[in-house]
Amino acid sequence: MNSLKWTVRVVLILLMGGFLHYTLPQHDIVRVTNTYNRMTSVSGSNSWAYASPDAGTTTTAGARDIRFIETVYANDKVMVYRNEDTGWIWPPYFKYDSSNLQARASDLKSTKAAPVWVSITHYGWRLPILSIYPNAVAIREVAGPDVRIIPYVNIIVLILLGIGGFMIRRMWLQFVERTVEPVVAEVQETWDGVTAKADHASKGAKGFLARLWSRRK
């Protein structure tokens, strides 16, 4: 029983961690090498990682024309971002300037000989097997590949989530203490009353029978 409880807890924590890791913004310091758009297949296995169909890029028969930004890290590893409007519900970035972002990224293209380092703010994962790309949200020039960026947004969001979770717990405890427990106590009292009456009645019945019996004797 205990191990079951812990399994559920660990799975929940992993799910929540994965969800936050996917949704919260992250920064990569990279060099933009190419920007383009191409028809991309958006199908059952990866459609969850793309914007909702009405967010700005038209989907025709499982394919969508999506903007991409190709980049290189300082250690020569590559990363490809998609650049899509997010729509208005989820994830809550409310991004509708993909065209401007693409223009900015094209402007910041650079070569290995004369690198221009940029910080790309993005959310999402790169999963090549499912053709899933992180979505670039913002791009800005930085001094060099070793710039340290403090994730203020993540700090604020995590603190707010912590406060929210704490308050939900307090509200639930208050609800149980003030609303559930009194009802349970009342039901308990009523039930005690019923059993007491039943005891009384059965005693009365026994007494009656006993009296009948004794009279017969």
Question: What DSSP string describes 14-70?
Answer: HHHHHHHHHHS-EEEEEEEEEEEEEEEE--TTTGGGS--TTSSSPEETTEEEEEEEE
Smallest distance, another protein to C-beta of residue 90, A: 10
Cα–Cα dist 160/144, whole Å: 32
- For residue 55, the minimal CB distance to another protein (Å) is 7
Q: Using the minimum distance from each CB to another protein, give the nearer residue, 88 or 208.
A: 88
Specify the residue, 91 or 115, whose C-beta has the smaller distance to another protein: 91
Residue 129 or 150 having the CB closest to another protein: 150
Chain residues in the site for another protein (CB under 8 A):
52, 54-55, 87-89, 92-97, 100-101, 104, 137-140, 170-171, 174-175, 178-179
Nearer to another protein, 1 or 183 (CB): 183
- Amino acid letter, 209: L
Nearer to another protein, 87 or 134 (CB): 87
Q: How far is the CB of 177 from another protein (least distance, A)?
A: 8
- Of 99, 63, 81, nearest to 26 by C-alpha is 81
- C-alpha distances (whole Å) from 39 to each of 68, 82, 168 are 10, 12, 45
Q: Are 81 and 122 in contact (CB under 8 A)?
A: yes
